[in-house]
Amino acid sequence: MVKISKEYVEGCLKLADSENSKLTMTERELTGDNSPKLKSFLNNLCAKDGTNYLELGVYRGASLISAMYGNLKTKAVGVDNFSYDTKEVKKVPPKGYIWSNVQSALHDRIKVYTNTHGAKVFAHENVKIIEEDFTKIEWQKQPRFDVINFDVLPITYDNLDALFDLVIKKATGPECVVVINGYSDIQKSQWVDNALKTYSKDFEIVFKEQRVSSSQRDHFGYYSGICIVGLKRKTSTNSKPITKSVNK
């Protein structure tokens, strides 16, 4: 477990505002539902040695690769069931199917970084992909995460509630940092704030930062907007012991 302070997050944001990080132009231009500033921020946020990073809604892997790039002692779990794609007309595939093109794009990108860069900038062995609905995972059996990036689409209040109730309560330690995408949307920002109030009995808000804009696809800002929350588990909330590492 690593401690990520408010000052550290503020420093990560300040660097990302100018697109400063370990990322090269190649990573900053990786296509996906993100932007150079957002990818730079995730790269900076996951730079501490020993960070356990969880990304819910991996999509084609641009954010996950950016978070891991050059951070060779960071471990990551990425989760996606490939059941939603904003670029498809119908968004949701036929019942019983997934968007296999998104699935293959993710694995192809990871393979490219593994084969091209090797262990110099991308530690493939520290990345685990779970192809499942995040609400169906037994989170108490997963490691404790220091950073959670929530980018599940579509964003609904039920999904946000599940994030807190199923994931944060069961798969974090005494403190964690949660990044929630889509915060530029007024309704979604209200859902986030309501969820934080609902779970205030379980967690204290240590700090809260945000980056928003008037667009939901702002490639010059933080894409759909982000809310960054530092949470501290209250003593009345049960926590689980560390029994498992990120690797299989």
Domains of the chain from N-terminus onward? 6-233 (3.40.50.150)
Q: What is the DSSP letter of 218?
A: B
Q: Which residues of 178-214 are buried (b: 16+ CB within 10 A; e: fewer)?
A: bbbbbbbbeebbebbeebbeebeebbeebbbbbbbbe
CB 71 within 8 A of CB 47: yes
Amino acid 87: pLDDT: 87
Amino acid at 212: V
Is the peptide bond preceding residue 36 cis, with omega within 30 degrees of 0?
A: no
Place of tokens 């950073």: 147
- The pLDDT score that the predictor gives to residue 243 is 46
Q: Which residues of 99-137 are buried (b: 16+ CB within 10 A; e: fewer)?
A: beebbebbeebbeebeeeeeeebbbeebbbbbeeebbeb
Residue pLDDT, tens place only, 43-65: 999 999 999 999 999 999 999 99
Q: What is the pLDDT of residue 154?
A: 93
In the sheet that holds 145-150, the strands lie side by side as 127-130, 75-79, 52-56, 145-150, 172-181, 226-233, 203-211
Question: How many residues would you count in the chain?
Answer: 248
Q: Are 57 and 150 in contact (CB under 8 A)?
A: yes
Question: What does the alpha-carbon distance between residue 139 and residue 48 come to, in Å, rounded to a whole number?
Answer: 23
Pairing of strands 75-79, 226-233: unpaired
| Ranges under pLDDT 50 in the chain | 237-239, 241-246, 248
- Residue whose structure tokens are 């002692």: 73
